[in-house]
Chains A and B, each alone.
Chain A
Amino acid sequence: MKFKRYLLTAFALALALVYLIPLIWMTLASFQSEKDILASKWIPSKWFVENYKIILQRAKLRTWFVNSLISATGATVGILLVCIPAAYAVSRMEFPGRKILYLLSLTGFMIPTQAIAIPLYLLVRKFGLVNNLLGIIIPALPSSMAVFILSQFMKAIPLDYEEAARLDGASELDVMLKVILPMSLPAVVTVTVLHFTWTWNDFFWPLIVMTSDKMYTLPVGLVALAASDVNIRYGPIMAANVLASLPVIAVYIFLQRYLTRGVVLSLR
């Protein structure tokens, strides 16, 4: 029995290793000279840090990084600010029309961005938000997914906690911010991780809204760079890939325990 367990573990680890080969190669290639890459080497013959220097000297790459950081952070914070009160209202307050508003908050699931990309682009253009990070941030704010995950979680919190706080004279705002919000932390973290990575990784919408290369986000910029610049070939692009991946990997490693818990709970 024990032997079978070891065998299965070994198989799983081997499978994971094979699965991760593209990422391992990406990291190794970022330290290879063009000659090594063209010779299909796994291990660099000389560890070549130039790739990182070349790519970091690119002022635009830094700009794109900052653009991505601002839009992902801005969208995530904004989503929390807008969706937490909305989720609290539909899950913990009693008022006429509650059910209708709850269903309305889920209509976003039925209308994907790609289906309304053209009118949405025209609207954003009308507001003068083309080539503006707000053009990424503001349309992202009414997130049905965020309201869904948060309200699902908030619904499950027993009424007793709230009542105890009310007896102590807590206002509705106190109950939301001091009782329900801290208890909903796994849901808040789930929403944060999901929306941060989704905005950070989004390609389609920034490609449409950002027409000036100074306003590109990292994903759009990387593709433009790989397609346009003949001086920047394989090695530096792989170095840029590694650099672009680090922030989301860090966010994931830091918050993964909460994430799985949050996904489990919202699936329940």
Chain B
Amino acid sequence: MAVYRKKKHTLLAYLFFAPFLVLLLIFRLIPFFNSIRMIFYKWDIFGTPKYIGLGNFTRMMSDKVFWASLWHTVYFVILTVPPIVVLSFLIALLINSKIRFKDFLRSAFYLPYTLTISVVCLTWTMLYNPYFGMIGKVMKFFGLKPISWLTDPFWAMPAIVITTVWWTIGFCIVLYLAGLQQIPASYYEAAELDGANGFQKMFFITIPLLKRVHVLVLVTQIIASLQIFGQVYIMTAGGPAGRTRTLMQYIYEQGFRYFRMGYAQAMAFVLFLVMLVFAYLQLRLMIASAKEELV
């Protein structure tokens, strides 16, 4: 009888899991294996795919636009991730300190993150406008010469970075706040009894105990930044003179504008390999936190 019950139980568990599994297979795993097959083919979507071995990769090697796009992606990550980590940590510390209106402040800093990328980018495009944009007006007020942010080859990428940091920082603040709330107050009290100053408390308690959150924020932001597409597509379309064209923008152009499916997927595969390192770290982190929960 017990065996029968157990069997029924197992069957039911599989039944509960089945819809998710089937959808996962069809919409994640099969496309993933297809993506690996596609990188060996030349295909313009209309004709039949032609096997070309590593042809897509040799082409990539000599494609200057590919290398420029790869560099712009890395450049974007380098410019975006450090300010996101540092600023979100500092703002979370501020909100978590002994101040009033905490709920309001948390919501205020989270608000931009709830907005769609189009709203964010269209608004910032107008703020950056060299003729009537508010940023130029403020710069003039301080005696600075306004910059034509999005059409200047040097400033276009930093402009996209500023918008991105502003847009995404709220989510990281929430992660840091969650981490800060879990540090027992007794640690600080004990440190105070030993005569620790604020600086020592920060560097010997707060920062080390938030190690997991630092890594989580770092890893998730690197993954997100490597995939940057929308901001570039909306604000500069890759310009001026291709100076903001990131890998995802180039993949989109090759795949969905010129229908070079194999080539575009081969480049997406390179991006995937770069992301894989960080995605693996993220998964490790999540499983580690899951295991801690079981203890």
Q: Give chain A's interface residues, CB within 8 Å of chain B.
A: 5, 8-9, 11-13, 15-16, 19-23, 25-26, 29, 37-40, 42, 81-83, 85-86, 88-90, 93-96, 98, 101, 104-112, 114-123, 138-139, 141-142, 147-148, 151-152, 155-156, 172, 176, 197, 200-201, 203-204, 207-208, 218-220, 222-223, 226, 234, 237-238, 241, 244-245, 248-249, 251-253, 256, 259-260, 263-264, 267-268
Contacts and interface: CB of A to CB of B under 8 A. Distances in A.
Contact of A13 (B16, B28, B34, B105): B105
A148 B286 contact: yes
A268 B293 contact: yes
Contact of B166 (A22, A106, A208): A22
B107 interface: yes
Nearest to A145: B286
Contacts of B23: 82, 138, 141-142
Contacts of A117: 251, 255, 268
A52 B77 CA distance: 38
Given A22-B123, A86-B16, 4 more contacts: A39-B132, A109-B286, A119-B31, A176-B16
Contacts of A176: 16
Contacts of B38: 118-119
B164 to A, nearest CB: 13
B46 interface: no
Nearest to B123: A26
Contacts of B122: 222-223, 226, 237-238, 241
B200 to A, nearest CB: 19
A114 B229 contact: yes
A101 B17 contact: yes
B3 interface: no
Given A119-B265, A219-B118, A267 B94 contact: no
B90 to A, nearest CB: 10
A23 B17 contact: no
B115 A248 contact: yes
B: contact size bracket: 35 or more
A111 B32 contact: yes
Contact of B268 (A5, A115, A201, A223): A115
Given A40-B134, A114-B271, A245-B115, A108 B28 contact: yes
Contacts of A204: 229-230, 248
B282 interface: yes
A112 B182 CA distance: 30
A118 B264 contact: yes
B16 A93 contact: yes
B109 A201 contact: no
A115 B114 contact: no
Contacts of A123: 26-27, 30-31, 34
B211 interface: no
A21 B123 CA distance: 11
A263 B116 contact: no
Contacts of B115: 23, 201, 245, 248
Given A115-B35, A142-B24, A264 B178 contact: yes
A23 B163 CA distance: 12
Interface in B115-154: 115-119, 121-124, 126-127, 131-134, 136-137
B159 interface: no
A252 B289 CA distance: 26
B179 interface: yes
Contacts of A95: 9-10, 13-14
Contacts of B114: 197, 201, 245, 248-249, 251-252
15 contacts: A9-B100, A12-B94, A12-B105, A23-B111, A86-B17, A86-B20, A110-B283, A112-B279, A141-B23, A147-B20, A172-B9, A218-B116, A238-B122, A259-B174, A268-B289
A23 to B, nearest CB: 7
Given A204-B230, A248-B116, A118 B255 contact: yes
Contacts of A89: 13-14, 16-17
A96 B10 contact: yes
A112 B27 contact: no
B261 interface: yes
B16 A112 contact: no
Interface pairs A-B: 9 shortest CB-CB = A86-B20, A85-B16, A115-B272, A119-B34, A142-B24, A201-B116, A119-B31, A89-B16, A142-B23
A51 to B, nearest CB: 13
B29 interface: yes
Given A114-B268, A118-B35, A119-B265, A267 B116 contact: no
B119 A82 contact: no
Contact of A263 (B97, B178, B256, B265): B178
